[in-house]
Amino acid sequence: MRHRLVAFLFFSGFHVVFAQQEIALEQVVALALEKNYDVQIVAKESEAAETDNNMAWAAFMPEIRATGARVWNNNNQKLQVRSRETNDIITNEGDVSSNNTNASAQLTWTLFDGTRMFAARERVSVIAEQSQLALKDQMVNTIAETIINYYDIVRQKQQLKAIQEQMSVSEERVKLAEKKLQVGTGIRPELLQARVDYNAQRTQVLQQESTIAQLKQRLNALVGLQLPDNYDVTDTIVIDLNLNPEDLLSNFENSNFALQAARQNIRVASLSLRERRAEYLPFLNFNAAYNYTNTDNTRLINPYGTLLFRQHGYNYGFSVTIPILTGFNVRRQNQQARLEIDRQTLFYNQLKTNVNVGLKNAYVNYDNAKKILLIEEETIGLAKENLNIALESFKRGVATFIELRIAQQSLAEAYSRLIIARYNAKLAETELLRLNGSLLQ
Separation CA 320–CA 120 (nearest Å): 21
Instruction: Give the model's pLDDT for residue 168.
Output: 79
How many residues belong to the chain? 441
Separation CA 436–CA 260 (nearest Å): 12
Instruction: Give the model's pLDDT for residue 147.
Output: 92
User: In this structure, is residue 239 part of a structural domain?
Assistant: yes
Domain that includes residue 52, residue range: 4-67+112-291+326-440
Asked if residues 220 and 226 have their Cβ atoms less than 8 Å apart, the reply is yes
DSSP bridge pairs for 74: 97
Burial of 428: CB neighbours in 10 Å, binned 0-12, 13-18, 19+: buried
User: In this structure, is residue 313 part of a structural domain?
Assistant: no
Compute CA 283 distance to the chain's CA centroid, rounded to the nearest angstrom: 41
CATH number of the domain where residue 163 is located? 1.20.1600.10
Separation CA 2–CA 17 (nearest Å): 37
Instruction: Give the model's pLDDT for residue 186.
Output: 61
User: In this structure, is residue 12 part of a structural domain?
Assistant: yes
Report which of 348, 261, 267 is spatially closest to residue 42, judged by C-alpha positions.
261
pLDDT per residue as tens digits for the range 105-115: 999 988 888 78
What single-letter DSSP state applies at residue 57? G
Asked if residues 161 and 83 have their Cβ atoms less than 8 Å apart, the reply is no
Number of domains in the chain: 1
Sorting pLDDT into bands at 50, 70 and 90, what band is 5? very low
Sorting pLDDT into bands at 50, 70 and 90, what band is 246? confident
Report which of 204, 201, 142 is spatially closest to residue 171, judged by C-alpha positions.
201
Residue 136 in this model has a pLDDT that exceeds 70:
yes
Separation CA 257–CA 434 (nearest Å): 10
User: In this structure, is residue 36 part of a structural domain?
Assistant: yes
User: In this structure, is residue 302 part of a structural domain?
Assistant: no
Separation CA 441–CA 431 (nearest Å): 15
3-state secondary structure of 58: helix
Phi (first) and psi of residue 439, to 5 degrees: -65, -35
Asked if residues 341 and 266 have their Cβ atoms less than 8 Å apart, the reply is yes
Mode of pairing for the β-strands spanning 21-22 and 63-82: unpaired
**Distance set, CA 429 to CA 33, 89, 115, 313, 371 (Å):** 20, 105, 49, 75, 14
User: In this structure, is residue 229 part of a structural domain?
Assistant: yes
pTM: 0.77
Report which of 233, 226, 174 is spatially closest to residue 199, judged by C-alpha positions.
174
Sorting pLDDT into bands at 50, 70 and 90, what band is 7? very low
Residue 33 in this model has a pLDDT that exceeds 90:
no
Instruction: Give the model's pLDDT for residue 68.
Output: 93
User: In this structure, is residue 344 part of a structural domain?
Assistant: yes
Q: What mean pLDDT, rounded, does the chain reach? A: 82
User: In this structure, is residue 100 part of a structural domain?
Assistant: no
Separation CA 77–CA 380 (nearest Å): 110
Q: Which residues lie below 8 Å from residue 106, measured CB to CB, with a gap of 6+?
A: 64, 65, 66, 67, 287, 288, 289
For residues 364 and 389, the model is more confident at 364
Q: What percent of the chain has pLDDT over 90?
A: 18
pLDDT per residue as tens digits for the range 80-92: 777 677 777 767 7
**Distance set, CA 79 to CA 68, 88, 176, 298 (Å):** 32, 14, 127, 17
Separation CA 66–CA 104 (nearest Å): 6
Asked if residues 79 and 110 have their Cβ atoms less than 8 Å apart, the reply is no
Instruction: Give the model's pLDDT for residue 185.
Output: 62
Report which of 326, 235, 334 is spatially closest to residue 6, judged by C-alpha positions.
235
Residue 170 in this model has a pLDDT that exceeds 60:
yes
70-74, 132-136, 381-385: segment of lowest average pLDDT: 381-385
Mode of pairing for the β-strands spanning 308-321 and 63-82: unpaired
Separation CA 76–CA 96 (nearest Å): 6
Q: What percent of the chain has pLDDT over 70?
A: 91
Q: Which helix (H) or strand (E) holds 314?
A: strand 308-321
pLDDT per residue as tens digits for the range 51-106: 877 888 887 888 999 999 999 888 887 777 776 777 777 677 777 788 899 999 99
Separation CA 365–CA 360 (nearest Å): 9
